[in-house]
Amino acid sequence: MELHEIGVIIAWVFLYGYLIVASIDFGAGFFSFYAKLTRRDHIINKIIERYLSPVWEVTNVFLIFFVYAVISFFPDVAYVYGVALLVPGSIALVLLCIRGSFYAFANYGARKNIYYLFAYGVSGLFIPASLATLMTVSEGGFISVQGRNVELLIGALVRSPYSWVVVFLALTSVLFISASFLSYYADRAKDVDAGDLLRKFALYNSLPTIFFSFFAFFTLRNHNPEHFERMLDMSWMFIASLGCFLVALALYIQRKWYGTAFIFVMLQFAFAFFGYGRSHLPYLLYPHLTIESGVTSEAMGAALIAAFIGGLLLLIPSLYLLMRLFIFNADYVQRGKGS
Amino acid sequence: MLDQIVLARLLTFITLGFHIIFATLGVGMPLFISLAELIGLRKKDPHYHLLARRWARGYVITVAIGVVTGTCIALQLVFIWPGFMQVAGKVIGLPLFLETFAFFFEAIFLGVYLYTWDRFKNPWLHWVLSIPIIIGSVGSAFFITTVNAFMNTPQGFTLAGGTITQIDPWLAMFNPATPSKVAHVLSSAFLTVSFVLAMLAAFHLYRSKRHVYYKKALHFTMVLGLIFSLANTFIGDLSGKFLAEYQPEKLAAGEWHFHTEERAKLIVGGILHPDTLQVEFALGVPFALSILAKGTPDATVIGLDQFPRDQWPPLYIHYFFDLMVGLGTYLLVISIVYVIVTLAQKRGKLMRLTKWNRPFLALIMAGGPFAVLAMECGWIYAEVGRQPWILRGYMRTSEAATQAAYLPEMLILFVLLYAFLGVLVVTVLIRLFRQTPPEMELEAKKIIL
């Protein structure tokens, strides 16, 4: 395999990791707020808090990994996106910061404050929407590149149906992933009420998610027919994604095996996400930049891959420990020991 | 109207200047928490145990701000300096990656550590969990500092026509600036943390709280403060010698040393007339610059006359250098006095001089903000001192900044963000510690007062 192919896979794996962990986090924020509005917060907030407290620092790391992978493997791509996305990127960053800093607040009673919950919940929807837009611009037509001059065409972005469909797809997906995970977590905690409510949230968001997926598919056909053709070539991945979705949906309807259901939800997004990514190639920014613009230095590539493998050897056991202690540990999940 | 490059530098300055306060605490705190817990376990002293616990609780809040501002700077590198990242990204990708791994490692164990205080039957198991946090925090400081060191003394690549080739990532990481920079960053982080924590203990003693808990806290942090002050002074001297050899223009600009000469004198204080380059009101210490630079009084020190005028760093960095050294000296003296008084009192001397007298406690309290200020000054000196280069000898800062519009608006946006975060973190910390004073917690844990 060529270096830039490995690079693109590493970047994509981290972005997928971010998609899952950040969705759980963003969705949880929204559910907290929504439950408070509908006076059901006492049912689910304990579950949300117990899961998020020990793991929130980890979420941002996936995003940074993705950014650094792009910088080190595809510096030219970093240049173009860096210039084009100064404004939307900075706004997304500010939202992420405000939200991240709220965790500092959250441990000291702020969770009961409705303004806090509002900011926390709404940012949980704005951030995925703005991050999804960063993805949309890779389809071409939204960034003008003339030599060193790069510009984001905001007007085109706002008028494009495709970009709006992607935003809605991001929102429904976030809520769906989050609700599926949290209903599983509540189930492990033997918290029947929370599990039921979260299962309901998962069901509410399941059909919109799949609806917007199809919609995105067909708007892309108008926006970037070339990409659409390549997607059809690997349609099996998207069919597999749909299959996983149906399995998860069936399990939720029958109220069983929430853990398995969540795995199928993850598979559903994995197939769709990697299918999308694969069909996006060879372009990283259509039609200006292809994957060929990536790293050329063998030595750097080898060092990065060595660092990557070394890092994973360190991370996987530690992540396993984290999950053993806080997710798969019935004692913690149910009663919650410790300060 | 400010130009694009100034705006880009200003925005980076504000983000990093804010971030490094929390980054410094983040690097130093885990060691202090771990040591306090260790002493608590070994001496079976619940006071130290509580100290570790309370520090850890405050630490989480500063970490939260450190994480979000760290995310800011990571992305701003791409948004504000795309030209630099395009060229240098190929070389610094490795340490950036490793830094994130180290931080990830720290973040995982921090979560585990914070939520398992009473969970293990064997308390040593909990203490062991603090070690990966220290490794992670020191590791991430190490890797990110190598990136900065690389920008000061780039090596491990060839630059031809705007593209970098023949990269040796390990050589780039272990460049000449790496050892002294890493050592100075770490020692000053530990020094800053010891004085920030000493400040908190001194504050309570100043307000006439006489509980032994505070005395232990002050003693612990001041003794470590002395150790790290000494280490920091020694390493700072090494950094001076490094500069004389590899970045003489930074040292010369910092010292207003215009002419290459032997037996160079060190200029302390003073005001410079920017047009005539005349120095007034300065104290000149004979031979001192030669000693600082080369270790012998009659060594030759390269002056700014060896460099074309357009490659001079701004001369105002002298003020920051002096401030850093002055504040560092203050910290060293205060901690020496504290330890001498303590030792004398152990032998029954100086008993009339009570260690808890308020003026002395006030001097210790001043050490906290002074340490942070010294750290900021040292950072400004190091960073502005490599202007006009972003990649010394290869790329000027002016070639690297973004051309995108709306930079002024982004500057305002981020200033507002940091102002908000700054107020938030202070309010939350004060509220947290006011609500549960240590006396209350000690009583709740049935520790005899």
Percent of chain A's residues with pLDDT above 70: 90
* pLDDT, tens digit, 9 for 90 and up, residues A139-161: 777 777 777 777 777 777 778 88
* Lowest-confidence segment of A50-54, B240-244, B364-368 by average pLDDT: A50-54
Mean pLDDT value of segment A295-305: 78
Which position has the token pair 């306060």? Answer: B21
Q: Is the minimum CB–CB distance between A72 and chain B shorter than 8 Å?
A: yes
Answer whether A148 sits within 8 Å of B119, measured CB to CB: no
C-beta separation of B449 from B439 below 8 A: yes
Cis amide linkage into residue B274, ω under 30° from 0:
no
Answer whether A98 sits within 8 Å of B417, measured CB to CB: yes
- Give A61's pLDDT tier (boundaries 50, 70, 90): confident
Return the number of other C-beta atoms located less than 10 Å from residue A338's C-beta. 16
- Looking at this predicted complex, what is its ipTM? 0.82
A63–chain B nearest CA distance, Å:
9
β-pair type (B300-301, B389-391): unpaired
C-beta separation of A87 from B406 below 8 A: yes
* pLDDT, tens digit, 9 for 90 and up, residues B225-280: 999 999 999 999 888 888 888 888 888 888 888 888 878 788 888 888 877 778 77
Mean pLDDT value of segment B291-305: 81
Q: Is the minimum CB–CB distance between A313 and chain B shorter than 8 Å?
A: no
Q: Is the minimum CB–CB distance between A321 and chain B shorter than 8 Å?
A: yes
Query: What separation in angstroms does the CA of B40 have from each of A297, B210, B211, B212, B448?
Result: 51, 20, 17, 14, 15
Picking from B80, B104, B402, the nearest residue to A315 by CB comes out as B104
Total count of domains within chain A: 1
- Chain A residues near residue B81 by CB distance under 8 angstroms: 82
Answer whether A93 sits within 8 Å of B165, measured CB to CB: no
Q: What is the DSSP string of A88-100?
A: HHHHHHHHHHHHH
**How confident is the model at residue A332, as a pLDDT?**
66
pLDDT at B35 over 50: yes
Domain range spanning residue A300?
3-335
**How confident is the model at residue A338, as a pLDDT?**
37
pLDDT at B436 over 90: no
**How confident is the model at residue B273, as a pLDDT?**
81
* Orientation angle between helical segments B358-384 and B212-246, nearest 10 degrees: 30
pLDDT at B223 over 90: yes
| Interface test with chain A among B4, B63, B97, by most A beta carbons within 10 Å | B97
Answer whether B421 sits within 8 Å of A101, measured CB to CB: yes
Please indicate whether residue A29 or residue B177 has the higher confidence score (pLDDT).
B177
- Give A337's pLDDT tier (boundaries 50, 70, 90): very low
C-beta separation of B240 from B230 below 8 A: no
* Lowest-confidence segment of A38-47, A230-239, B72-81 by average pLDDT: A38-47
Instruction: Give the whole-angstrom CA distance, residue B406 versus residue A91.
Output: 12
**How confident is the model at residue A106, as a pLDDT?**
66
* pLDDT, tens digit, 9 for 90 and up, residues B382-420: 999 898 888 777 788 888 788 777 888 889 999 999 999
- Give A216's pLDDT tier (boundaries 50, 70, 90): confident
Which has the closest alpha carbon to A262: A170, A200, A182? Answer: A182
Residue type, A139: E
CA torsion sign, B339 to B342 to B346 to B349?
positive
* Lowest-confidence segment of A238-252, B16-30, B318-332 by average pLDDT: A238-252
* Lowest-confidence segment of A110-124, B113-127, B238-252, B435-449 by average pLDDT: B435-449
**How confident is the model at residue B379, as a pLDDT?**
95
Three-state DSSP state, B313: coil
Q: Is the minimum CB–CB distance between A88 and chain B shorter than 8 Å?
A: no
* Lowest-confidence segment of B103-107, B159-163, B214-218 by average pLDDT: B159-163
A253–chain B nearest CA distance, Å:
35
Answer whether A100 sits within 8 Å of B67, measured CB to CB: yes
* pLDDT, tens digit, 9 for 90 and up, residues A62-79: 888 888 888 888 888 888
What is the token pair recorded at A206? 């399941």
What is the token pair recorded at B178? 């790496």
Q: Is the minimum CB–CB distance between B211 and chain A shorter than 8 Å?
A: no
B51-55: long-range contacts (C-beta < 8 A, 24 or more apart)? B51/B213, B51/B216, B51/B217, B51/B220, B53/A339, B53/B117, B54/B433, B54/B438, B54/B441, B55/B29, B55/B197
